[in-house]
Amino acid sequence: MTQTLSDQLTPELAERTRVLLRGFGAEIPAPGDLTVRTPITGGQLLTIRADTEEQAHAAITRAATAFDAWRTVPAPGRAAVVRRLAELLTAHKTELGELVTLEAGKIGAEAVGEVQEMIDICEFAIGLSRQLYGRTMPSERPGHRLMETWHPLGVVGVISAFNFPVAVWAWNTALALVCGDTVVWKPSETTPLTALACHTLLRRAAVDVGVDPEVHQLIQGDSRIGAQLVDDERVALVSATGSVRMGRIVAPRVAQRFGRCLLELGGNNAAIVTPSADLELAARAIVFAAAGTAGQRCTTLRRLIVHADVAGPLTALIERAYRQLRVGNPLDDGVLVGPLIDQAAHDNMRIALERALADEGELVCGGERVEVFGDNGHYVRPALVRMPAQTAVVREETFAPILYVLTYHELEHAIALHNAVPQGLSSSIFTTDQREAERFLAADGSDCGIANVNIGTSGAEIGGAFGGEKQTGGGRESGSDSWKAYMRRATNTVNYSAELPLAQGIKFG
């Protein structure tokens, strides 16, 4: 019966995908060697042609050529295309969210929320276009002015992952465009259709406001196509989101040619819960952070470090919530946990749970496969596992909904446990004690790029810089002064006197 449902649904989803693409104004891709599957049933949506290395090279050439003129457009003028993109995203918000669900498996609320995040970063970038400030510094020489200016950097290569197939691209692209850069985007080969939709909308926005659409290029394919961006000297900045393994490959290759790298890699995020915490509030935040997007966020909560005095009550609250979570087709109302992206993700989760139990962990609940469409699609119940210690498997990032629970007695020990992993993206503490909160945020507290108090590890706002330390890569995207990664700085000295005094009081001749 379930097999029949899957067989019936997949063609419907494939046809709906074509309808959505036409609605964005995109041409239906010609059949090719890249198979696009929906994680909802595991069935095929479309096949498309991957770009050749020659086609990728040509796309970079077009972006490099367009940059010569684009960098001379005043920044508020460059913002016009981003403003129009925001308008188009708003008009197509529901449809683009649906396409994200079809291709990445996110539930509807999260998918539409991702599109809203795109709109938000566009609005941020529009305002930023009038705030690309430099500084004026006092010169030690009379009749001189010392200042710094910021200029467009060049071609920006964006390599994005499947779990945020459109938002991360928007973080980079909206800022890069107002900074005067052109963009070449290589999306995950798992989610090429959402990329095609966004590319179509952006080029339409460019045409609508009289901008050369060649400022944005899209290349599709596997890591061989991504290598074009990594190795081409015309690509001034490579912004890559993915695994630590990918980052170890990308970073040295870009550095070898003296290019710039912006890396957003793994996250093994933790939350500390102290005895003073509001446990009801903490439980709600923890469940969303750990189970949302089926555990496939870089900011997913994976480790829970709880004071021994409240570990029992808190674990019971989380267990109760986990047992009530509805796992199923993300297109259905009321579903809170959709599918894992593919078989490999499911296998990795199963192996991690086996290792945790071999390390004397106790499976409190979850971890089992849920048959939504029989053997089609990879649906699982989020797993809650008590661990006696932070073993090797706990220190690793498994991109699936597994939450490991550890206990502590002293806050210093909790912070040490928190920091004792290779990754450093997002972190939280739940407490009503200001001293504990401030201790967690101090220089010797959380070592992550994001440190929160009384909220979960996921759900970052675009106004703040997003990124992390250690094996997370050190990159920063989105808000604050992240724009500086997309520009080059020049220090300028202007002599408006009739003399030529030298710095440091040097007398020459």
Which residues are known catalytic residues? 264
| Closest C-alpha among 15, 19, 89 to residue 46 | 15
Nearest to 339 by CA among 2, 129, 40: 40
Q: Distance between the two ends of the chain, CA-based, in angstroms?
A: 95
3-state SS, residue 491: strand
Q: Exposure of 274 by Cβ count < 10 A (0-12 exposed, 13-18 middle, 19+ buried)?
A: buried
Task: Tally the residues of the chain.
Answer: 509
Give, in order, the Cα–Cα distances in Å from 8 to each of 13, 31, 330: 9, 22, 17
- Residue 450, SS3 per DSSP: strand
Asked whether the beta carbons of 267 and 437 are under 8 A apart, the reply is no
**Residue 21: closest CA among 162, 254, 204, 197:** 197
State the sign of the Cα–Cα–Cα–Cα dihedral 439, 298, 166, 241: positive
| Dist. CA 329–CA 351, nearest whole Å | 24
Q: Report which of 165, 175, 156, 152 is spatially closest to residue 68, judged by C-alpha positions.
A: 152
Number of C-beta neighbours around residue 474 at 10 A: 18
CA dist 91 and 104 (Å) reads: 21
Classify residue 485 by its DSSP letter: G
How far apart CA 223 and CA 269 sit, in angstroms, is 27
Radius of gyration of the chain (CA): 24
What are the strands of the beta sheet with 135-137, ordered from one edge? Answer: 135-137, 144-152, 487-495
Report yes or no: 491 and 144 within 8 Å, Cβ to Cβ: no
Nearest to 475 by CA among 437, 449, 441: 449
Which helix (H) or strand (E) segment holds residue 36: the answer is strand 34-37
Helical (H) or strand (E) element with 44: strand 44-48
Which is it for strands 144-152 and 135-137: parallel, antiparallel or unpaired?
antiparallel
